[in-house]
Amino acid sequence: MRILGDIHFAYAYIKKNPHTLSTQDIYSRRTWGLSISLKYGYCLVVRAKKTDKYTDIIKGFPLSLQEKIAKGYGCDRKLRNERCQEGCQGIRIPLDNSILGISKDIETWLDNEVGACRN
């Protein structure tokens, strides 16, 4: 059996950087990305760091999305001595029919997150 790697397409705001960034630098600074993997399938992966700048907008989102955003991202295992669950990659949202009803809210979320990163 051969294990294939994940494929990622990432968005990072890099305009204010004084030097040329490597591909790894850009990937590590990503705000959101699309991920295709055998383990998770097609996903939107968001690394929201500025949610405190637009909390009033988040309050208007459906509760399920508010809860995902409130949980944030980071090491999912913390100090529980569990195997890595790759939570540091971001908030993973499967790209399936379950997001059809919240797609505009996700778009608003990403627009606000990117806007907050620019300021």
Query: Alpha-carbon distance 49 to 84, whole Å?
Result: 21
For residue 90 the two structure tokens come to 């971001």
User: Do 69 and 55 touch, CB atoms closer than 8 A?
Assistant: no
- 23-81 pLDDT, tens digit per residue, is 788 777 888 888 888 878 899 999 998 999 999 999 999 999 999 999 888 765 555 56
- 85-117 pLDDT, tens digit per residue, is 666 788 889 999 999 999 999 999 999 999 988
